[in-house]
Amino acid sequence: MSDKRIPCSVQILDRTDELIRLRCRGDIEAPKPGQFYMLWNDVSENPFSAADFSSRYETRLDIVAKRVGDDNSFTAHLFQLKDGDEIFVRGPYGKGFLDARARENETAYMIGGGCGIPPLMYLELLLALTRQPNVFMIGARNKDELNFYGADAQHVSTEDGSAGRRGIVTDLFDDVTPDQDSIFYICGPEKMMVAAAERAEQYTDPSNIVLLVERYMKCAVGLAGCCRIRGPEQNAYRVCVDGPAFTYDKLKGGDLGCYKIEPSGLRTKL
Amino acid sequence: MYIAGLEINPPIMNASGIFSYSDILKNFDGVLGALVGKSVSLKEKHGYETPVIYRPARDLLMNAMGLPNPGAEAYATELAEFSFSVPFIVSLVGETPEEFAECVDIFERIAPPDAYELNVSCPHPKGNEGIEMIYQNKVADVTRAVKAHTHKPVIEKLSAVPQIGRIAYQAVEAGADAISAINTVPGLSLRNGRYELSNRAGGISGPAIKPIGLKAVMEIRQAVGVPVIGMGGIETAADVRDYMHAGADAVALGTVFCGMDTETAKQYLENLRRELYE
Ligand SMILES: Cc1cc2nc3c(=O)[nH]c(=O)nc-3n(C[C@H](O)[C@H](O)[C@H](O)COP(=O)(O)O)c2cc1C
């Protein structure tokens, strides 16, 4: 882990009105799937999961961002970037999917919704290298969104039925047959992750279900405290250092799906 | 170690602003000898835009958080859900003696802590607070205002200003039961024309400021007889001993936890305690 900000040259790989895929070329340290980086532009600094990484011919990190906020927001600025512009990256930070729980000899079920799909695609690459059997289940709003991610999954759902099964990603559980030794990796909007974890729990123990949690973050090194998330007991984890990948047993019955933290540190209902 | 009868054992606590909230601090109940809260103001503050933290070198952390906090009422309400086996110290920040006193009233009503720490030293405040209390000669007034509203021990948190011994003396004359020091050291992180924190100026912490902290603690020790809580760049048992040697009765740790997950931090504290006291 490096706290130094690495200057990177950006390339816009793809862009829709809502989503952007950025490549950052620079002397970046390799991430484990599920780890994240802090990206700094002229507006502010924000966390992004690694969507892809390679250091084969050149060192490059890909991230996928969704446009949020007004025209002066951090992500709006990302949409204004041109090829060759400079951006700063520090990281990688946090615990990845496999740090939370790895079971090399069991089938891995990867369940991704929307923006949660790219980090799982990066995990899938690694699982393929180690030849761990895996089943990829993804859900998006429509075919265009799926095409943007470029995901190639065995089980697909879209809300409008333009690709795969019409419905939401948890419906895809009807098409698969996990067993009690399966391991689940889940990434997507918080409500979707909770729903998927509840389905997965019908097959296996919560300690075999890994979620990639997203929280507002300021520092990424465990000092600010604003990414705290309570588990079932009173004590809280800090998502940036204790996560973002957590097994479900650590979070079930706590803040997940119920509470979030404001930039002031105020804990409020989701 | 005792502060006005309040036992702190081991004499090792977290520095204010690190771990910050009751639910994070709950992990360290009994591992630290006392738990210190984030500096809390009367009204909620969102703090500065990111970046609020940057670590340009291993021994040097820069931060300008902008004192984000949910406000005294919300912070106290959350604290009221918790009980701890070691003292919980509420840190307060404000612009006037009246504001400090009002915060004390709120805590005494909702979640009375074991002691208060008065942050009159944050070097990069948004408003007329933090180190402005020292610059504007309000330290004694603030201390008296707080003492008039609580019988709990009061700790004055100072930073490495010139003649810090004199400020400490004024605080103790006004009723402070202990002094803690130092807060972060003002600095500007600028590289190739880019300011690396949104507030531009920030506070330096970590091993780089240890000599500054040691000198401040020595000056305070020479000026007052109350307990002194030393901090600034402590990482090892040897650092703790150095602070004790300079006159500290207890120590607080902050930047050392940078990047540590909860289990690693607990393990680190267990090892530190073992090295110091076994
Ligand atoms: C991220 C961060 C936030 C801080 N917030 C506060 C605060 O709210 N109140 C305060 O009195 N000191 C605050 N401080 C200062 C620390 O309590 C401590 O005085 C300083 O960091 C020196 O100790 P260290 O080198 O061990 O970090 C903060 C320091 C850091 C690094």
- Among residues A65, A93, A121, which one ends one of the domains? A93
The pLDDT, as a whole number, for residue A131 is: 92
Residues in A touching B18 (Cβ below 8 Å): 223, 225
Query: Which residue, A118, A63, A123, is CA-closest to A97?
Result: A123
Do residue A232 and residue A103 come from a single domain? yes
The answer to whether A157 and A172 are in contact (CB under 8 A) is: yes
Residue owning tokens 């990414």: A227
Do residue A153 and residue A262 come from a single domain? yes
At position A93, the amino acid (one-letter code) is Y
Cβ of B20 within 8 Å of Cβ of A40? The answer is: no
Residue A264 is part of a domain; what is its CATH number? 3.40.50.80
Nearest CA in chain A to B76: A266
Cβ of B26 within 8 Å of Cβ of A234? The answer is: yes
By Cβ distance, the residue of B47, B49, B262 closest to A242 is B262
Do residue A66 and residue A120 come from a single domain? no
Residues in B touching A218 (Cβ below 8 Å): 47, 50, 52-53, 65
The pLDDT, as a whole number, for residue B101 is: 98
Query: Ligand 1 pocket: which of B41, B116, B255, B256 to mutate (most atoms <8 Å of CB)?
Result: B255
CB atoms within 10 A of CB B161: 17
**List of residues 6+ apart from A233 with CB closer than 8 A:** A254, B26
By Cβ distance, the residue of B20, B81, B198 closest to A44 is B198
Do residue A102 and residue A181 come from a single domain? yes
Distance of CA B123 to the CA centre of its chain: 12
- As for how many domains chain A has, the answer is 2
Catalytic residue status for B122: yes
Residues in B touching A43 (Cβ below 8 Å): 49
Q: Give the rounded percent of residues in chain B with a pLDDT score beyond 90.
A: 94
Can you tell me which atom of ligand 1 is nearest the CA of B52?
1
> Which positions of chain B have pLDDT values less than 70?
none
- Alpha-carbon distance of B94 to B136, in angstroms, equals 13
Residues in B touching A216 (Cβ below 8 Å): none
Q: Say yes or no: CB of residue B124 within 6 Å of ligand 1.
A: no
The pLDDT, as a whole number, for residue B106 is: 98
Q: How much distance in Å is there from the Cα of B171 to the middle of ligand 1?
A: 20
Cis peptide before B10 (omega within 30 of 0): yes
Q: Over the stretch A38-65, which tens digit does the pLDDT of each residue have? A: 999 989 999 999 999 999 999 999 999 9
> Which positions of chain A have pLDDT values less than 50?
none
Residues in B touching A85 (Cβ below 8 Å): none
Do residue A112 and residue A8 come from a single domain? no
Do residue A257 and residue A137 come from a single domain? yes
User: Phi-psi category of B82—alpha, beta or left, where left has phi over 0 and alpha has psi -120 to 50?
Assistant: beta
Which tokens hold the place of A265? Answer: 């540190």
- Alpha-carbon distance of B249 to B2, in angstroms, equals 9
Cβ of B50 within 8 Å of Cβ of A218? The answer is: yes
Do residue A87 and residue A102 come from a single domain? no
Q: Over the stretch A203-254, which tens digit does the pLDDT of each residue have? A: 999 999 999 999 999 999 999 999 999 999 999 999 999 999 999 999 999 9
Do residue A122 and residue A54 come from a single domain? no
Q: Say yes or no: CB of residue B255 within 6 Å of ligand 1.
A: yes
Do residue A131 and residue A35 come from a single domain? no
Considering the candidates B122, B167, B176, B246, report the single residue annotated as catalytic. B122
Do residue A76 and residue A53 come from a single domain? yes
- Alpha-carbon distance of A61 to B11, in angstroms, equals 45
Q: Over the stretch B16-68, which tens digit does the pLDDT of each residue have? A: 999 999 999 999 999 999 999 999 999 999 999 999 999 999 999 999 999 99
- Alpha-carbon distance of A252 to A193, in angstroms, equals 11
Beta bridge partners of A246: A211
Q: How much distance in Å is there from the Cα of A239 to the middle of ligand 1?
A: 20
3-state secondary structure of B139: helix
For A123, the domain range is 97-269
Interface test with B, best of A3, A223, A241 (most B CBs within 10 A): A223
What angle is formed at CA B35 by the lines to CA B237 and CA A234, rounded to 5 degrees?
120
Strands B88-92 and A267-269: unpaired
- Provide the residue ranges of all domains of chain B, joining segments of one domain with +: 2-277
Within 13 Å and on the Cβ side, how many CA atoms surround B247? 21
Q: In Å, how far is B264's CA from the nearest CA of chain A?
A: 10
Q: Say yes or no: CB of residue B159 within 6 Å of ligand 1.
A: no
Q: H/E element holding A86? A: strand A86-93
Q: Say yes or no: CB of residue B61 within 6 Å of ligand 1.
A: yes
- Among residues A76, A93, A110, which one ends one of the domains? A93
- Alpha-carbon distance of B36 to B14, in angstroms, equals 6
**Ordered alpha helix ranges (H), chain B:** 22-25, 72-79, 97-110, 132-135, 139-149, 164-173, 210-223, 237-246, 262-277
Do residue A265 and residue A198 come from a single domain? yes
- Alpha-carbon distance of A232 to A253, in angstroms, equals 5
Q: How much distance in Å is there from the Cα of B206 to the middle of ligand 1?
A: 10
Residues of B with CB under 8 A from a CB of A: 17-24, 26-27, 38, 44-47, 49-56, 63, 65, 68-71, 74-75, 78, 81-82, 196, 198, 254-255, 257-262, 265
Q: Say yes or no: CB of residue A225 within 6 Å of ligand 1.
A: no
Which tokens hold the place of B154? Answer: 């009061």
The pLDDT, as a whole number, for residue A2 is: 67
At position B248, the amino acid (one-letter code) is A
- Domain B2-277 class, CATH top level: alpha beta
- Alpha-carbon distance of A240 to A81, in angstroms, equals 27
Do residue A247 and residue A140 come from a single domain? yes
- Among residues A74, A93, A112, which one ends one of the domains? A93
